[in-house]
C-alpha cells in the first residue's frame, strides 16, 4: 500500500510537470488545442476516479488527490482565459 501511494504521488508530480509543458506549448499554438488537451485530461481524470472508486478502496487520500487535480485544472483554465483576454481582448475568443 505504501508503494502504491508513492507511485501515485510520483505520477501526480509527473502529471503536473507534463501539464505545465503542454500548456506552454499549446499557449503558443492556439486556444483550440489547449481546450482539446484540457478535455482529454478531464475525461481521463474522471475515468481514473471511477476506476479507483469501484475497483479499490476509495480512501480520504484518494479523494483529496482527485479533488486537487480538478481544482488545479480549473484554476489553470481560468488563468489561461484571463491571460488571453488581458493580452488580446475578447476578439481572440470569438469565432469569426
Domain ranges across the chain: 2-93
76: cell is: 489553470
pTM across the whole model: 0.39
Sign of CA dihedral 50, 4, 1, 65: negative
Alpha-carbon distance 61 to 14, whole Å? 18
79: cell is: 488563468
pLDDT on residue 85: 74
Instruction: Give the model's confidence band at 29: pLDDT under 50 very low, under 70 low, under 90 confident, else very high.
Output: low
CA distances from 14 to 3, 9, 19, 28, 31 (A): 16, 9, 8, 22, 23
Are 84 and 31 in contact by the 8 Å Cβ rule? The answer is yes
pLDDT on residue 81: 74
Amino acid at each position: 500500500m505504501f508503494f502504491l501511494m508513492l507511485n501515485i504521488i510520483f505520477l501526480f508530480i509527473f502529471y503536473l510537470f507534463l501539464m505545465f509543458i503542454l500548456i506552454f506549448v499549446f499557449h503558443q499554438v492556439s486556444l483550440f488545442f489547449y481546450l482539446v488537451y484540457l478535455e482529454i485530461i478531464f475525461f481521463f481524470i474522471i475515468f481514473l476516479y471511477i476506476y479507483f472508486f469501484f475497483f479499490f478502496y476509495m480512501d480520504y487520500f484518494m479523494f483529496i488527490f482527485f479533488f486537487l487535480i480538478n481544482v488545479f485544472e480549473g484554476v489553470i483554465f481560468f488563468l489561461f482565459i484571463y491571460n488571453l483576454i488581458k493580452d488580446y481582448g475578447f476578439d481572440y475568443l470569438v469565432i469569426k
